[in-house]
Chain A
Amino acid sequence: MIGLVRAELLRAWSRRVVRVLAVAVAISIFVSLAIATYNTSRHPNGEAYETARQACLDGQLVPASEIPRRYHGDLAAYCADRIRPEYYGASRWRWADLPDALTSGTSSIVVLLGVLLGATLAGADWTAGTMGTLLTWEPRRIRVHLVRLLVTVAVILVFTVGLQAFLIGVYRVAIAISGTTAGTPPDMGWHLVQIVARVAAVAAAFGVVAHAVATIGRSTVAALGVLFGYLIVIEGFLAGLWTAIQPRLLIRAAEVVISHQPLVGRTVVTTGPNGDAIVQSQEVLLSVTGAWVVLAAWVLVLTAAALLVFRARDVN
């Protein structure tokens, strides 16, 4: 058993695609952050901003009499709203923005990498025809499948946690060069750890699903085609057509787990005694716990199906 695990780890590590993906993503993270850092730091134009702000305060932008009503004649408030630092290239990286960047920005790419790894680690043996060779060394198929699955999950977790850690590290460098830690919540570190763990877990879950589809279809390419076709076309279609099905969909569950925010549906609005609209409640379609359960159900059902197919079908 341990030998099989070691063999699968060596095989996974020997796959060029794993190393290429790791290097490519790391380079793209580094390059994109470097470019952004350069762009935000090359115009240290606090002077231009100050000049514009002063000009506004002097009434050169708009005469005091023409200030919109909502500012109640407060020129300083008007100028603060109209002359913002970011308009003058003074926008800076904010360490406090990183959680949003991880959940909304890079999480989909990380999950996608999980899918690619899951599909390729299961499909490669079928594509190369080496499954027969492997089974002549370890014919207990359930054991083989579970070990391969375990190794796939381990590789995806290491890979996705590593990439996110790298992203955080490079982001931290960018903050040091041209950013600010102002407004950072006190529990930022723990918050980041939770986000990284949730994204990695979802990537692993999607990887297991891809692994199962590749095992059933006996092909990496077929697995990716089927999975992306399902996730993008079918789930998109179902979500648009039938709201009630949304809590059962894989992508919705992933979104809820990663964002740690429940999926809400219709907003229930009632009218108050003065005729004002009062938001009473929002219908929760999928809670965070429910999303974990949905993800787990997908993983378990597809793993069981793959296991049954792998155990029963001939290997030619």
Chain B
Amino acid sequence: MGVIEVEGLRKEYRRLRGGRTMAVDGLDLDVPEGGVFGFLGPNGAGKTTTIRCLLGLVRPGGGRTRLLGAEVPGRLGDVIAGVGSIVEQPALFPRFSGRRNLQILARIGGRDEAAIDRVLERVGLADRARDAVRTYSLGMKQRLGIAAALLKDPSLLILDEPANGLDPAGIVEVRELIRSLGDEGRTVFVSSHILSEVEQTADRVAIVARGKLITQGPVAEVLSAGRARGMLARVADPVAGSRALAEAGIGVAVDGEVLRIDLAPDQGERITRTLAERGLFVSELRPDEVDLETVFLELTREEGSAS
């Protein structure tokens, strides 16, 4: 059983001047327990709406949602103590101190002052805890939001774009924090449109576009799903090289000055031998590695053109 289970989730917004926008269109999602789960999609893909539906902030138009085994929104109250979350920018009272904001939340959750101290320490805000939130930088507010989410000591963390507004050092800090939370056995569900952020932290990813799931699974699987792995070779005459490989029955395409070859990386010897037999010598040969960004762009582009 997943900690987050979504089946056929739909959410439609009515526009002020008539018409409707389908924010989430039959989304399916299954997030297993433990580790970091990346929820990827371009802006407007329906990530935040999905998270709002999960947290009971938005009423879905259809579908079924379960969080930690409880139906949402009906039984959400039974499990909310185990769910920490940030939705978009952390919303806090600007005139209250960081500590006072956390104290208010801690009272709801029955947490003590020691828990507040712990989370402030963890996000590096212990020194500024008594200052008004309005004096905080965007990154500090984001960290305070994470502290608020951690205050429950949750088994599931739902973080919507947690690195938004952070400087490079802050992004690294948040990334390390997320990774460490995942390593502690918690489930961290992170939505983001910053692919590198997810690629470096997530164990599994789901990619959404236009409110629909494109693919989901372990990061390595999703990467391989985007395109068949192959090899890139550089020779002096790519056209001649392409012809030589094709005659040898090897799938190949010319991509600028390189050959994109449909052979697994362990077949490098066959490539070099075939080319060398035709007097073509390889100056560079490397696996055609696909990063998440490429997969993401290809998959979301395909989805866009299909619709």
**Which residues of A come within 8 Å of B, CB atoms?**
3-4, 6-7, 10-11, 14, 16, 124, 128-140, 312, 314-316
Q: How far is the CA of A129 from the CA of B83 in the complex (A)?
A: 20
B57 contacts which of A11, A14, A136, A312 (Cβ < 8 Å)? A136
Chain A positions within 8 Å of B276 at CB level: none
Interface of A, secondary structure class, is helix
Q: Taking A3-B109, A10-B103, A10-B104 as contacts, is the C-beta distance between A137 and B80 under 8 angstroms? A: yes
Q: How far is the CA of A6 from the CA of B112 in the complex (A)?
A: 13
Q: Taking A138-B77, A138-B80, A138-B108 as contacts, is the C-beta distance between A133 and B57 under 8 angstroms? A: no
Q: How far is the CA of A124 from the CA of B83 in the complex (A)?
A: 25
Chain A positions within 8 Å of B80 at CB level: 136-139
In contact, A128 and B93 (Cβ under 8 angstroms): yes
In contact, A132 and B91 (Cβ under 8 angstroms): yes
Known: A7-B108, A10-B103, A133-B91. 15 other contacts (CB 8 A): A4-B108, A7-B107, A10-B104, A10-B107, A11-B93, A128-B92, A130-B93, A136-B83, A136-B85, A138-B77, A139-B56, A139-B77, A314-B58, A315-B57, A316-B58
Q: How many residues of B contact A (CB 8 A)?
A: 31
B 63-79 binary contact with A (CB < 8 Å = 1; else 0): 00000000001001100
Chain A positions within 8 Å of B108 at CB level: 3-4, 7, 134, 137-138
* Closest chain A residue, CB of each to CB of B79: A139
Q: Taking A14-B100, A130-B92 as contacts, is the C-beta distance between A137 and B105 under 8 angstroms? A: yes
Interfacial residues of chain B within 84-99, with CB under 8 A of chain A in the complex: 85, 87, 89-96
Judged by a CB distance under 8 angstroms, whether B140 is at the interface is: no
Chain A positions within 8 Å of B107 at CB level: 3-4, 6-7, 10
15 A-B pairs, CB-CB below 8 angstroms? A3-B107, A7-B104, A10-B100, A11-B93, A14-B93, A14-B96, A128-B93, A129-B91, A131-B91, A132-B57, A135-B55, A136-B55, A136-B80, A140-B77, A316-B57
Chain B positions within 8 Å of A135 at CB level: 55-57
**Which residues of B come within 8 Å of A, CB atoms?**
52, 55-59, 73, 76-77, 80, 83, 85, 87, 89-96, 100, 103-105, 107-110, 148, 152
Q: How far is the CA of A306 from the CA of B132 in the complex (A)?
A: 31
Q: How far is the CA of A137 from the CA of B55 in the complex (A)?
A: 10
Chain A positions within 8 Å of B90 at CB level: 133
A138 CB → nearest B CB, Å: 6
Q: How far is the CA of A54 from the CA of B58 in the complex (A)?
A: 83
* Closest chain A residue, CB of each to CB of B103: A10
Chain A positions within 8 Å of B52 at CB level: 314-316
Chain B positions within 8 Å of A10 at CB level: 100, 103-104, 107
Chain B positions within 8 Å of A3 at CB level: 107-110
Q: Taking A128-B93, A128-B94, A132-B57 as contacts, is the C-beta distance between A139 and B109 under 8 angstroms? A: no
Q: How far is the CA of A138 from the CA of B152 in the complex (A)?
A: 12
In contact, B73 and A139 (Cβ under 8 angstroms): yes
Q: How far is the CA of A140 from the CA of B80 in the complex (A)?
A: 10
Chain A positions within 8 Å of B73 at CB level: 139
Q: How far is the CA of A314 from the CA of B95 in the complex (A)?
A: 26
Chain A positions within 8 Å of B85 at CB level: 136
B76 contacts which of A134, A139, A314 (Cβ < 8 Å)? A139
Q: How far is the CA of A16 from the CA of B134 in the complex (A)?
A: 14
In contact, B104 and A14 (Cβ under 8 angstroms): yes
Chain A positions within 8 Å of B95 at CB level: 16
A208 CB → nearest B CB, Å: 22
Q: How far is the CA of A11 from the CA of B105 in the complex (A)?
A: 10
The 7 closest A-B pairs by CB, nearest first: A129-B91, A7-B107, A139-B56, A314-B58, A315-B57, A6-B107, A137-B108
A16 CB → nearest B CB, Å: 6
A54 CB → nearest B CB, Å: 65
Chain B positions within 8 Å of A129 at CB level: 89, 91
Chain B positions within 8 Å of A138 at CB level: 77, 80, 108
* Closest chain A residue, CB of each to CB of B88: A132
Q: How far is the CA of A10 from the CA of B104 in the complex (A)?
A: 7
In contact, B100 and A133 (Cβ under 8 angstroms): no
B105 contacts which of A16, A128, A133, A139 (Cβ < 8 Å)? A133
Q: How far is the CA of A135 from the CA of B52 in the complex (A)?
A: 11
* Closest chain A residue, CB of each to CB of B11: A314
Q: How far is the CA of A137 from the CA of B150 in the complex (A)?
A: 12
Q: How far is the CA of A314 from the CA of B274 in the complex (A)?
A: 64
